[in-house]
Amino acid sequence: MTNINNNNFLYHIFPLGACGAERTNDFFSAPVPRLRQIHGWLDHIQALGADTLFLGPVFESGSHGYDTANYYEVDRRLGRRADMAELGRDLRARGMRLVLDGVFNHTGRDFWAFCDLQTYGAASAYRDWYANVRFDQRSPLGDHFSYDAWNGHFSLPKLNLENPAVREHLFGAVRMWVEEFGIDGLRLDAADALSFGFMRALREFTDQLKPGLWLMGEVIHGDYRQWVNDQTLHAATNYELYKGLHSAHNEHNYFELAYSLNRQFGEMGIYKHLELNSFVDNHDVARIASQLREPAGLYPLHVALFCAPGIPSVYYGSEFGLAGIKSHDDWNLRPVFNLDAMRKEAPQPDLFTWIRRLAEIRKSSPALRWGSYVQRLVTADQFAFSRHAEGEDVLVLVNNANETAGLSVPMPGYEGQRFSDLLTPGDAFTADARGNLAVRLHPKSGRILRRD
């Protein structure tokens, strides 16, 4: 297990949006130290229970951060390298870890090597820094050459990651981020577009640079085992579970969620030994409060998020039930983070306390953090599963119905055993002589029962 998995959960901020930066970079204005705002949010983040801060793009870029212009400079709309280093020191002093977004598949068109290619064409010393550069045709954006781009977006030219000079440049940047900012991990943007050779080389480099440096890849589709193994990455985004979490609650169909969890983490689960990042929203998808048809579903949904296998993350503002619909440029998902206003105007004022309690329970439970998974009972609106580790047995139950539900959960081998509710202290239930545990669940809620 990596160091990040030994922590509790990730709190995800998109700095350019949260700190109120301009939408585009003019590349000549004096740096504005907006990153300093984040210091004022750390008490809140720690109070929620997070001990790892994941920051979206912070390096010099043309607009949204994923169009990098310089891997060695902090975006002037956010400040200077000294501001990033100061934030890293503050996090370390608090016992928190820092994960940054590593955008290595592509750059922006303002990246200096691409600008050189535009100026000198075939004579550019950097003609081999980009993938499939050809001088017998023009690009869709009017360049006198063509090139590969990420997902057809020619504002994001794809780097040639097999070029040793490109790797040296990128790895040098990672070294600087470790030495100057004290980072503990990287989220690799568009990891499903990176070559496995590049990821193996990056893993070998980071293992030597800082053993335990966490590499987590953004992977939308495919078999996560291709990316997460001893040679490439430590973790990947669990988009399959993300889909099951919101869909199961919207459709009142816990069978979908149960199927995904059992397929991934059950006795024959294909990912039972992998670390995956679980989430219900992020900077690329609609806020979970906007995805759910019934706002009260946020409460059982977060029980499932924090108690299912995986390393959970919370996207800034979603702990208050903040809404956000995906638009053409995604800035609706990346608003300014006015913490005081959010506290006063929270659409779901009880959600913060609910998540904080879930985080406290998860932090105190080896079973919930890395234990095995067993499905116990599933109906359309009720779902029960157990987690087991180091002599600890935890039974998790969720109820998506709008009325109280009574369940008889089969727990063979636990005949006569007493289970106490960690979410509602004082409530306890005892399995009968046949190993059945009779439990009542409140509407749109859940229980986390630990065997006494």
Please tell me the CATH code under which domain 368-451 is placed: 2.60.40.1180
Ordered per-residue pLDDT tens for the chain, 452 residues: 455 656 679 999 999 999 999 999 999 999 999 999 999 999 999 999 999 999 999 999 999 999 999 999 999 999 999 999 999 999 999 999 999 999 999 999 999 999 999 999 999 999 999 999 999 999 999 999 999 999 999 999 999 999 999 999 999 999 999 999 999 999 999 999 999 999 999 999 999 999 999 999 999 999 999 999 999 999 999 999 999 999 999 999 999 999 999 999 999 999 999 999 999 999 999 999 999 999 999 999 999 999 999 999 999 999 999 999 998 889 999 999 999 999 999 999 999 999 999 999 999 999 999 999 999 999 999 999 999 998 999 999 999 999 999 999 999 999 999 999 999 999 999 999 999 999 999 999 999 999 99
Q: The whole model's pTM is what?
A: 0.96
331: left (phi over 0), alpha (psi -120 to 50) or beta: alpha
CB atoms within 10 A of CB 247: 14
Residue pointed to by tokens 């310089």? 70
Measuring CA to CA, which residue among 341, 365, 350, 358 is closest to residue 447?
Answer: 358
Strand partners, 374: 386
Return the pLDDT at 211.
95
pLDDT at 7: 62
CATH 3.20.20.80 domain extents, the chain: 3-110+161-366
**Domain(s) of CATH 2.60.40.1180: residues in the chain:** 368-451
- Over residues 213-268, the pLDDT tens digits come to 999 999 999 999 999 999 999 999 999 999 999 999 999 999 999 999 999 999 99
- CATH code for 111-160? 3.90.400.10
Token pair for residue 357?
């309690």
Check if the beta carbon of residue 419 is closer than 8 Å to that of residue 430. yes
- Note the pLDDT of residue 328: 84
* 3 state SS of 214: strand
| The predicted structure's pLDDT at residue 3 | 59
E strand intervals along 267-367: 275-278, 311-315
Architecture category of domain 3-110+161-366 in CATH: Alpha-Beta Barrel (3.20)
Task: Name the segment(s) of the chain with CATH classification 3.90.400.10.
Answer: 111-160
The pLDDT assigned to 327 comes to 86
The pLDDT score that the predictor gives to residue 1 is 40
Nearest to 245 by CA among 191, 318, 188: 318
Residues forming beta bridges with residue 70, ordered by sequence position: 60
Q: What DSSP string runs through 112-167?
A: HHHHHHHHHGGG-TTGGGBTT-BSSS--TT--SSB--EETTEEEEEBB-TTSHHHH
DSSP string for 18-75? HTT--SS--SSSPP--GGGGGGGGHHHHHHHT--EEEE---EEESSSSSSEEEEEEE-
